[in-house]
Structure 1
Amino acid sequence: MSFLEEFNENIYEPWHIEYVAYEVINKGLYEICNSGHWTSRDENDFEAAIRLEAGKVDLFINRKQREIESRLAYCKRVLNQKKWSEEDTSTIDESLTDILADINELGRFTRINFKALQNLIKDHDQLTNTNRKALLVQVCRARPLDNQRFDELLIQVSCLLDICRNRLESSTNDVSIDSKRIQTARYWVHQDNITEVKALLLFNLPMYVNNPAQEFEQTEHSTSAVYLDNNGFSEYLSRLQRDDGAEIIDIHWYGDMDLSHEVYIERQTYVKTDQGGSSVTDSIIMSKDNVYDFISHQYTAKDYANDLQRENTDQEYVDKKYIIAQSIQDTILKKKLEPKLRIYFDQLRFESPQDRTLSVALDSNIAFARENGAQKLNGEWRRQDMNVDYPFRKLLSHDLHLFPHAVLETQIVGGKSPLWLSRLLDSKLVYEVPRFSAYLHGVAQFWGPQLPLLPWWIPQMEIDIRTAEHKSGFSGITRSKSYKPLIDGQHRTRYLEAQLGKRQKQSNKSLSMHRTIYNRNRWNNSTDSSLLVPSSMDGKEKCHIAQQIENASSSSLHRAFTTPSLSSRTRLRDPNKDNGAFIDTYYNGRNNQSQAYMLQDANTVRESDNLREAAIIEMKEEKKKKKKEKKLKPPSHTMEPKLFFANERTFIHWLQFSAIILTAALTLLNFGDSISTISGIVFFCISLVIALYAFFRYRYRAHQMSTRPHIRYDDIYGPAGLCTLIVGAMIVVKFHTSNGTST
């Protein structure tokens, strides 16, 4: 099936005018390139068309999100009422189900349009022998065509649905729990808290070991995995967007590779279900010497099956593994997959042999390495300079990334969490990161600048997870304790508390400053700059960018829709120059019924993209500046009076010592001979230096206590200098005494 057929099959008819004009742009691209008349003007027009179509999609997504947010606000108001009836709750349940379906459709809309833009740029590069992948990155940085932007809405719907269904179940006394449902959650653990978390886990759960008779060795709990992808990172993008059928293929082994003879080739396939989605895992065991030949198709699935038969393996098992090996090998060859990323980690698993409903894994010493960054000999499928010698000091810095945290993963069967685990997960020892994937994180760390979409948790790497606050979400609605997996079957309601509570409050406050230009599928005659802002940003970022766009581009946006007497085609082109063939094909073929074309043209969309990118860069610089100032700024403190009194006592002690030396100096000066006079002068100077130094040190230490109470106050150089001066004075006196005696 061609992508054009896939694109047309995935069009949701009520929104058909808001999709990317893929067929029109693709047709113009092929016609002009095949005729050999592609010019630099056509190149600029192609970029303008891509930006304009991305802007149209982004405007529509923001519009639908505002509509969904208003519907959710109504549902929250109803559920906040003290008096509620079963009929009202059933109505809200149906409304939330419809909203969930709309969000799902909006996610499909976003995904297919992103693929359309990606394929257009790919076809353009093939036809023109250029590389414009950076254009897709720029467009997606300014207008994130990313399904992750809907996670906030999904979590809100999840919580409200949970509340509705709990009320309905309690009213009918029909509380059912799916005993086979597995809930998975992932958390970051700071390095300072790893030991404490281990102790808590060991206190409540035994650690799983393969052979209890053997002594514990850290290398036995280490795992290494080599992940496969292509140069376009199609597997990464598919998994990030949770496409149905998205695959991840890895080759992993346990412990020291020099002691291992076999590896596991595993494929995880993401499958969407009515409850959300789940991963299906298939794996085969293969000799490490055959892996390179298997990837390059020199060692076929048939050869693998024959080797299994020689080992007198059951025929049913051989047939099953043959099918899996054939499927994995076909995927590798079809998608041109190759080793890209190595992940190393030490894993401790905690579970009770008597109760398999709870399993906890703690991954520490996590390291990422580029597999394509090392020089490999023919026949090698992995880099040889990396084994179990964490932290891998032999590797170059640009080929290695050490993850700063440990990862805690919990798997609960049946939805009931023990009290001790709930307390641990609600504490400051862990920081919840839903849908965290080590593979996605590693790819984003090494190849982030060339990727159009990044995982949502990348900005979270800058925060201190030990002090990060987990604020509650919806005020007035009690968080449900049922922990039903309503989203992908893997997320607890606590997601809202961990990630969205703070942003929800900020977003509601900042968005009230801007007018909503969409009301019941109708556009007003004014332009709201907040609609041009990605909804995935938090409230302050939206407000900041919207104000910049409104102040800087209001005139250009005004020109875009204040000429109703002109057709959209005439208005969107520059009448002062001849237009290229591509832009004529684009304007003549596209569906101009989309109201987004009235808000922006090829010039204004480029201007708004540049403004948005500049605003985002400015905000990042401001965050770095504030973070730096915060580090330099002294923390709030309360000084005790005894510290100042101690400083005064120290000063007085130095003055007393200075007075003693001064007394000795005056006594020597009164003797009258030359030696006594010289000695008295030397001791007098030392006394003066000590007094001045003591006064300076007293004032400086008082200033330190007032401004920087966390530093050391002890005097390192003063006593040493004092001793040096006195010893020097005694040597001078002795020298002069010796000379006087000899004469």
Structure 2
Amino acid sequence: MRYGRTLERAIYPPWRENYIDYTKLKKLLREDESAPSSPSTESPEDNWTDDDESKFVDELVNVQLEKVHDFHRDTYEKLRDRTAKCEARLDTVAVAQNGEEEAQDRTKSTEATDATDASDAKPNGESNGNGKKPVPSESDKQETLKEVLAELDQITKETNELEKYSRINYSGFLKAAKKHDRKRGTSYRVRPLLQVRLSALPFNQEDYGPLLYRLSAMYSFVRQHLEGAENRGISVSEAVEDKKEYISHKFWVHPDNMLEVKTMILRRLPVLVYNPQTSKIAEGNQPDPSMTSIYFDSPAFSLYSNKVDNNEASSLRLRWFGQLAEKPQIWVEKKTVKNETSSEQQFTTKEKYIQHFIKGEDHMEKQIKKLEDRAGVDSAEAKNLKSSVEEVQTFIKEHNLQPVLRANYTRTAFQIPGDDRVRISLDTDLAFIREDAIDDRPCRDPESWHRTDIDNQQMEYPFSAIRKGEVNRFPYALLEIKVRNSGKRKEWIQDIMHSHLVKEAPRFSKFVHGVSILFEDYVNTFPFWLPQLETDIRRDPQEAFEEEQAKRQKQIDDDFAVGSLLKSRPSMSTFSPGKQTRKDIISPVGSPAMAGKANTGTSAAETRMSKLGNIANMEPTQVNDTAGEADDDETGTTRIGNERSVTVPGGLKGLFPSFSTSKYAASRRTAKLPPGVSKPESWIKDAGPVKVEAKVWLANQRTFIKWQHVSVLLASLSLGLFNAAGKDNSIARGLAVVYTIVAVLAAAWGYGIYMWRVSLIRGRSGKDFDAVTGPVVVCIGLIVALVLNFGFKYQAVRQDWNREQDMVMFNQTLAHWGDL
């Protein structure tokens, strides 16, 4: 799509006159849409003079750029002023509330006459508890809160539009400069000048973080006072729950949609401010925490292979906040998934103990002793710590684990303090870095547990000092939404999950993705989401809305059919396959009006979907639980504590507990085909064209080339041995022939295996590609040839030595007889 059309579609109507005048710039440039795009498109009558160049540059750099920059600056200042006015209006409500509470306390401790005076002053709305300032009535408070909420919605909307405004105009200036340099680049170039001016007027680099924090705090205050105790914290019934189940949803977010997603979330959830010292001194300008995770695996990447192939595996990682030079606490986390049951061991330690702990030289006796002294020798905490340490060290030793991958990212957490029903985290600036020491050029010192070049120099994103092949920067942000499975689904959460702003990424794992990208030559299997990185995840809002409606309709039809099978068909009043209720319609863009409505119930389809999701056991939430919790990286679930287990039903077993997926049961389940229907001879999956991953095809070719390389080396060896042997050395010539035969067999084996694997790939076969016979035969053949070579050579030396001894004795005998 041409930029002019893109600009027209992106214009916010109230600001139309303040956008870049791209049409005027093209006219000044004498841009002809039908002309070819090349620097030599000037015609004889199209003489570009210095005056023309001056007019274009003046219009681009001075007029248009100044106009856009001034408007962006003024609009941002107005938004800040409007935000300050909203804060002032909310201050009156807060002061009045505090005054009422103080007056109530004073009423209990003063004389009856003072209590009467205070009670007379309040109903009239003329003064607060001190009798000095007017106190608004309850109706005035509600009206003020509603007006402020409407103003906050408008500010949020204009903040989103301002970010889009800066982005589209920035692209317009670069496009105009590119057109100019392509058309007039033989004589004039305007791109360097434009870059200088853009650096001086950085309208596209505005940080909206402080404004968003202020809006978040006001949204939280207004929501608490308008919606009452529902959103102020956990109710009594919920607080005494021993078990809390959560459903986890993962998404990718394009950088262009980042700010809009943040504003949609902060309208309902405040931003959690992380501070490693204490929450009492946390400030609003505290930056989001930078988190680092180091994952372990064996040189053969066995943990990765089990994770990708079987989805049942164990994993180990170290995790901390901020820079390692600040000596933070380091979390040691081990997760095990087996037979749909997950368990976790987790404890903290310090940096100086990590290397000895990994080698098995330090069993954390000091930490265990301190915990036993504090909590008791027989306490559950001490026993859990001791068993966790032993299990982790045994796990490292058995699997020969070492650090292989580092993941660094910045986390923004959203949650109502004291209310953990909805927990959202947004990870940005995600970078994967090689941390291995498995080849001839190790990225990490084998005697150290981490890369000292990164931590000593306190490198930060984008880690530009690291070599190209050792770092990979993830192009999107990771959004994770955890909702307590309490039978109540918020409509604003549905708006985010089903909007065009996010791309669903179920079971995405940082560990799996990092290994598959940075160690592609060491692994043979890859996750399913890799091809999606090559496509643009941005979608048109209307198309996303229509796709979601179609998906919902299909889900309703499926649930209706499943309900009939289970003999628990939902009533027709709940939903119907042919129509949807108003609650099933979601907003295609997540507008504030739609997000402001509360969902009072869930459909049977949503309830059944929630039972099939990723469920986790959680404990009461603190600030750091969301900001720094162990994310759903390995198993799709989150746990906090030393060791827990949870069984997650999935697939057919979740829907039909008595349904068996064994081969025996499948063979016994034979359905009689109706008349006129025959059993298909080929699968539907085999009907379309074969689409093979390039990595799979190239891996097969690479193996074939290595076989031919071995064959050429053996043939060269045999030829050199044959030529150097001479005519009289029959043993060496015979061995040269043997080496030649082995070389021919290796070449034939390599070609045969190559063609066999090609047939498996084309036929979509599920067989293993392993072929261990050829390497074993070649190795045995070479060993036998070398042993025979050594034996024959040793026998020839012995014969020469015996012959020499016989000659010496014969000469001595002749000399003796000569003397006689």
Q: Same fold (TM over 0.5)?
A: no
TM-score (normalised: structure 1) = 0.42
Which of these two proteins has the greater Rg computed from alpha carbons?
2
Higher RCO, 1 vs 2 (CA within 8 Å, ≥6 residues apart): 1
